[in-house]
Structure formats: structure tokens, C-alpha cells
Amino acid sequence: MTEYELRSLLSRDVLALGEEAGNRKQAEFGNRVFVVDRYIFRDTGGTLPALPGGRCPGGAVVDVTDLGPEEAVKRIAEVRAAGFSGSISGPTASDVWRWAEGREGGVRRWLEALRDAGLSLLRGDDAELLVDGWRARRNPALLPQEAWLAIHREAHRLGLQSTASVRYGSGEAPDERVAHLLRLSALQRETGGLLAVRPEPWDPERWPADDFLDLPPTTGLEDLRMVAICRLAFPGVHVEVSWRMVDDKLAQTALRFGADTLSAASWRRWPEPAGEEGPEISDLDQAARLVRESGWEPVLVDETFRFLPQEGNR
């Protein structure tokens, strides 16, 4: 999709845009909506905790916050060694960048180590906006856009897939939003390694800081527009409804605007997982029911979109 085409989508009638995106979703994925089963692990201790009801998760997100590279690799290997056969994610490009700095072997070494330990994909939650001016203004700790893209390219070359967030509503200019979409689209054309994109509105209540305090929340129409734009800009790539869209009815509507993926109860505001309190998202039955109510067929998958039985994958 060209820059001109992307710009035009930002001003098109949202209902017409939604109809086109919905038709594209139907052509690419039929009547299926993918319900992603994922569970966040703080510390495995060499075991794999069971979910409520004794079920094991389809996808494990291994929390690597504050870990060094050796510890992160070890923790991922522990989950895999515990007999877990689903997808494993957790680290982002920012984590790999942090680990590679000043260490022998650089980015490739740690990507290979993570892959060999059992990592399935690189999480793209830190994509934010791939515009250096925005990144410097909003969060100086974010790695430069070219570094983010280079790490994802290298991950794709090594056989890992990745995801990317599409942040909006954070005071960015329309040109910055378009530039972000163009860079992600170029990455996908180059490597084919982007598995899913997640349109994600900035939440001023969740992340209040400095001038973010004055940002109004995005509107439902803007959220639906961004879902539709992502469907049209990324053919063949999964478009996931972000849990930060909050409302279950809006999430259902997003399925008519081109989204093909829900992360279990991804529209709910769950507290941040802490300690061993349990999963961030767990209500798969409700997610499936809401998909069916929207006229679609729910399909349970892990984060690599491998089909799972309803009971889990072990």
C-alpha cells in the first residue's frame, strides 16, 4: 500500500472503510476468528503451572523484565523442558538490544540462543511508533526505529516470527502514523515474518505521564478505523483486537471491521499480573461465545496460530 493510499484511509468514511476491510478479512480467513490462548509466567521454577480447571495454556509469555540474557534463555528453556509444546514468547527487540549491548556476539548471538532454547516469536509490544522524533519525545528509553527493524529482520532470518503493535492516539501527527504503517509494511514485504499486528490506542489512564495527562482517550470510531486500516495495509497478517479497546461490544464490532483475532478476553481491563496471582487472560469460553454471537467461528490457537484443542495443548 502506498503512502497516498494510507493517507486517504485516514479520512475515508469509516463505515465504507469497515465494509471493505470486513470483506478482505472474509476473503483471507473465511468465517474463522482466532482466539489466542496465552498465559504470563513470572517465574517457572522448572515447572509449568496449570490454569484454573487443570488446563495448560496454549501460549506462554515468559516475563523477562529485569532479567539478564543468560537468565532469560534459561527461563525459556525451563518452560520448554517442562513439556510445554505450545508457543513461547516474551522478549522484545528492546530486550535483545539491552542484552547485546557490550556483550560478545551481539544481537544475533542472543536471538540464536533464545531460538535454540525454545522461543517461538519476538513480541512487538515495543514498536510504539517507528518514528525517531516521536520515540525521543515520548520515551527516550525506546531503541531507535532502525535498530528495532534490524532486530526483527535478523529474527526473521533466523526462523523466528514476530508481532508489532500499532500505537495511535498518543498525540502523534498523521504523518507519523502513516510512517509507522509504511515501515511495518515494508518489513513484511521484505521478510514475511510479521505474524500479527495489534492496533493499540494510547491509554492516558493506564500510562499517565507528563503531557499524556492531557490526552483524551480515543473514540470508538477511531479505534474501528485503525482496525480496518491495519487489515487493508497488512494482507495475510493477523489483526488482533487489543484488550486496551476495553469494551466487549466494541471488540465484537471490530470483527466486522477486519480484525480476525482476539486474545481470549482481550477487551477486558485485567490488573497487571503480579507474583503468582494467575493468568492475565483466561476466559476463553466467554471469548468464544462473543465470537459466535458476532456470526463467526471461534478457533483456539497459540501465538503462532497453531490450532489447539479446547482443553489446551498438553
Beta-strand relationship, 121-122 and 59-62: unpaired
In this structure, the chain runs to a length of: 314
Q: What is the rounded distance in angstroms from the CA atom of residue 82 to the CA atom of residue 61?
A: 15
- The predicted-structure confidence for 267-307, as pLDDT tens digits, reads as follows 433 344 444 444 444 567 778 888 999 999 999 999 999 99
Using alpha carbons, select from 70, 61, 77, 68 the residue that is nearest to residue 124. 61
Domains present along the chain, CATH in parentheses: 3-301 (3.20.20.70)
Site of grid cell 466487549: 248
Q: What percent of the chain has pLDDT over 70?
A: 82
- List, as own/partner pairs, every contact residues 264-267 make where C-beta atoms lie below 8 angstroms and the sequence separation is at least 24, other chains included: 264/35, 264/36, 264/37, 264/38, 266/36, 266/240, 266/241, 266/242, 267/241, 267/243
Could you list the beta-strand ranges (E) of 176-274. Answer: 194-201, 238-241, 261-262
pTM for this entry: 0.89
Q: How confident is the model at residue 48 (pLDDT cuts 50, 70, 90)?
A: low
pLDDT value for 270: 35
- The pLDDT confidence band at residue 217, using thresholds 50, 70 and 90, is confident
**Count of CB atoms situated within 10 Å of the CB of 74:** 16
Distance CA 112, CA 108 (A): 6
Q: Which amino acid is at 67?
A: L
Residues 6 or more apart from 258 whose CB is under 8 A from it? 18, 21, 22, 24, 25, 227, 228, 230, 231, 232, 239
Cell numbers found for residue 253: 464490532
Alpha helices (runs of H) in 121-216, residue ranges in sequence order: 132-138, 145-157, 174-191
pLDDT, one tens digit per residue, over 73-85 is 998 998 888 777 8
